[in-house]
Structure 1
């Protein structure tokens, strides 16, 4: 059996360059990459949200190009999202969430993408943000990231995600050296529960289907994290499924050349009605 990918293996991942890049703000990290398959469209689309422990230290958007290359070869457009991390000016709460919102709402301006066939796929910290993005319609109007009619994402696929900021606080601290305040902000009189608008687990039920994919040997976000979230989602009335990748770690999940790729690719195709 092939050994799980290491962090260095992950950092070396890359893929084809994008067909276009669009800024949605003035900060260096406020942009998206568009990858298009051959043809005229409109195409089904995968929104990719990279991980990296919510920090600029580990990059992320370039590594997601590995998946993008495999997806465009199957006739799928890719919207690869960059965003301000907690250690970038304006990042954290609410900046990171505002960025994800603006990046996804920018899809409305792209005629080559079919807004009725979208799935969000996020890795690690990006799993949290992808799950949050699919739940944005649950935000109250008082939230800085609220929009009246958000782009709807009926299925979200979380790859080694860390999406329960309250119950997984200790794991996030040990795996990523991140504290809740860096991800969810400080409580205030008007916002006493900082998880209510930042943690997808607190936004259930969201009326979405969640696919939680974790490597069997993932020590950053082990399969038990997926099982716990799935139980919580089902108890709230949503649907959720867990897929464990045999022999895989935390980074194999985003490598299109990894042995486990078919187990990641299949749910993406099903979510888009292509399988």
Structure 2
């Protein structure tokens, strides 16, 4: 990006009737030309206790770098989310928000440089959103054509739902999201698990700290080996360093985003 810009004022857009079907949008105030759009999906194990506010610092930091940012909220487990509502919300946000923002602020976005960026559970949703033309017939969120996205930056993502489920005792967040394990609801894993959906038609860059204390980096290594894309391992970084603009890991996040938004 050419030069840095100050974060703009937050404007909330609604992409559906539910209270959680909203996104906080910030546009760079001194950008020259149309800005790339980052669709930001927060983590928190898909649970209602965690919302988009904990990545507002990420949205502000990216806007300061010259990106337009849509910090997307969605229904979560314990608040009307889970299967299939969470996935339907993310699909609807991806399909409608860019045009809504463009109509409200004509000429401010370069939609050909839209990037999905998600952390942890949001990383799973970001990769999944780019794969929606690969979903089984009648799966929630399926689209007949590849989504209009330049690529995905997935930060410490849950890109292997079955593998993550196997790490727990069967009562963890993946089971809460999908309503059971792979043996209970195999059709849901087939429609939701990035590792099961295969290589993405859009470029995917996974950024994962090698000292991640929440999701072992080996999960991303296995995903990279089976589905391709680019894997950036950040030495000494933990799970939350990737969403801390003050951390030593943050430049790796910006570099991944630049590789896709400026391609």
TM-score by length of 2: 0.86
Q: Which residue of the partner structure matches residue 134 of structure 1?
A: 130
Asked if the contact 1:132–1:198 (Cα under 8 Å) also holds between the matched residues in 2, the reply is: yes
The structure 1 residue matched to 2:59, chosen from 68, 73, 85, is 68
Q: CA deviation at 1:40?
A: 7.1
Q: 1:72 to 1:25 in 2, by over 3 A?
A: same
Q: Which residue of the partner structure matches residue 88 of structure 2?
A: 98
Q: Deviations over 1:121-179 (max 9, x none)?
A: 110110110110111121244123123446322421111111211222123x3699324
CA RMSD, aligned part only?
2.4
Asked if the contact 1:127–1:157 (Cα under 8 Å) also holds between the matched residues in 2, the reply is: yes
Q: Say yes or no: does 1:211 pair with 2:219.
A: no
Which structure carries more helix by proportion? 2
Asked if the contact 2:159–2:220 (Cα under 8 Å) also holds between the matched residues in 1, the reply is: no
**In structure 2, C-alpha distance between the alignment counterparts of 1:83 and 1:71, rounded to whole Å:** 21
Asked if the contact 1:17–1:65 (Cα under 8 Å) also holds between the matched residues in 2, the reply is: no
Q: Say yes or no: does 1:267 pair with 2:256.
A: yes
SS in structure 2 of the partner of residue 265 of structure 1 = helix
Asked if the contact 2:159–2:194 (Cα under 8 Å) also holds between the matched residues in 1, the reply is: yes
Q: CA deviation at 1:34?
A: 0.8
Q: Which residue of the partner structure matches residue 146 of structure 1?
A: 142
Q: Deviations over 1:80-116 (max 9, x none)?
A: 1100112112x11110000001111121222232221
Q: Which residue of the partner structure matches residue 9 of structure 1?
A: none
**In structure 2, C-alpha distance between the alignment counterparts of 1:175 and 1:126, rounded to whole Å:** 21
Q: Say yes or no: does 1:125 pair with 2:116.
A: no
Alignment: residue pair count: 248
Asked if the contact 2:224–2:230 (Cα under 8 Å) also holds between the matched residues in 1, the reply is: yes
Asked if the contact 2:8–2:63 (Cα under 8 Å) also holds between the matched residues in 1, the reply is: no
Asked if the contact 1:118–1:272 (Cα under 8 Å) also holds between the matched residues in 2, the reply is: yes
Asked if the contact 2:203–2:260 (Cα under 8 Å) also holds between the matched residues in 1, the reply is: no
TM-score by length of 1: 0.82
**In structure 2, C-alpha distance between the alignment counterparts of 1:151 and 1:255, rounded to whole Å:** 29
SS in structure 2 of the partner of residue 63 of structure 1 = helix
Q: Deviations over 1:9-31 (max 9, x none)?
A: xxxxxxx6853111122222110
**In structure 2, C-alpha distance between the alignment counterparts of 1:155 and 1:123, rounded to whole Å:** 15
